């Protein structure tokens, strides 16, 4: 029973860590809830793996420290899950990193995933939605969203995208009920 008592004593710490990692609703992210957020029909996880640059995002609390050069790196693991490493440069020039794991929750399309950055003795009590709602056919850019539209990212294989591609991406974003102005461009 000693383990149970210690576990219960530490549980509020794990919950407190997650609460600080979950941002409040981003301002300007009011949505058209009549439109359902829809994912791409198919995602090849092996092609999706690798390094992505953040082009735009809905501001959120857990990325407040990120001033520029935000990246996400995904690597398929042997157990079918995906290792996630997010990095960014802070205002003082130092680099910060968050490591997590993703799991596929819709095996028909592979486009609905859950991601966790909190591990408590190997147990991951908190998972967040990660839906791929737009994807270039050659996997050069992707749009990530959540069913509640509180979070969103535009990722690319290169640090910048031209205006025509961004217009195509904003069409996808608005087609999923997001407001264009909810997204802010990332600082390079």
pLDDT tens digit sequence for 108-128: 999 999 999 998 988 899 999
- Give yes or no for a contact between 168 and 174, defined as CB atoms under 8 angstroms apart: no
Total-model pTM: 0.81
Residue among 53, 38, 37, 70 nearest 150 (CA): 37
**Residue-range domain boundaries for the chain:** 2-185
Q: Residue 1 has what pLDDT? A: 41
d(CA 89, CA 118): 21
Contacts (Cβ under 8 Å, ≥6 apart) of 146: 37, 128, 129, 130, 131, 152
pLDDT given at position 148 = 97
- 5 to 9, 16, 162: CA distances (angstroms): 6, 18, 56
> Which pLDDT value is given to residue 76?
97
Longest dimension (CA), the chain: 62
In this structure, CATH architecture of domain 2-185: Beta Barrel (2.40)
Q: What is the pLDDT of residue 121?
A: 87
pLDDT of residue 32: 58
Residues of the chain with pLDDT under 50: 1-31
Give the span between the Cα atoms of 49 and 110, in whole angstroms.
13
């Amino acid at each position: 029973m000693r383990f149970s008592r210690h576990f219960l004593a530490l549980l509020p710490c794990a919950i407190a860590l997650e609460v600080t990692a979950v941002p409040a609703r981003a301002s300007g992210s009011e949505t058209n809830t009549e439109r359902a957020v829809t994912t791409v029909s198919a995602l090849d996880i092996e092609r999706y793996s690798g390094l992505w640059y953040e082009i735009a995002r809905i501001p959120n609390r857990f990325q407040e420290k990120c001033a520029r050069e935000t990246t996400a790196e995904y690597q398929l693991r042997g157990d079918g899950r995906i290792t996630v490493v997010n990095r960014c440069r802070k205002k003082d020039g130092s680099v910060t990193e968050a490591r997590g794991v993703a799991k596929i929750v819709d095996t028909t399309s592979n486009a609905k995933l859950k991601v966790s950055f909190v591990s408590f003795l190997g147990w991951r009590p908190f998972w967040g939605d990660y839906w791929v709602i737009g994807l270039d056919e050659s996997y050069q850019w992707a749009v990530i969203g959540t069913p509640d539209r509180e979070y969103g990212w535009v990722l690319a294989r290169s640090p910048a995208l031209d205006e025509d591609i961004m217009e195509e991406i904003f069409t996808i974003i608005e087609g999923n009920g997001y407001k264009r102005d909810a997204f802010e461009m990332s600082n390079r």
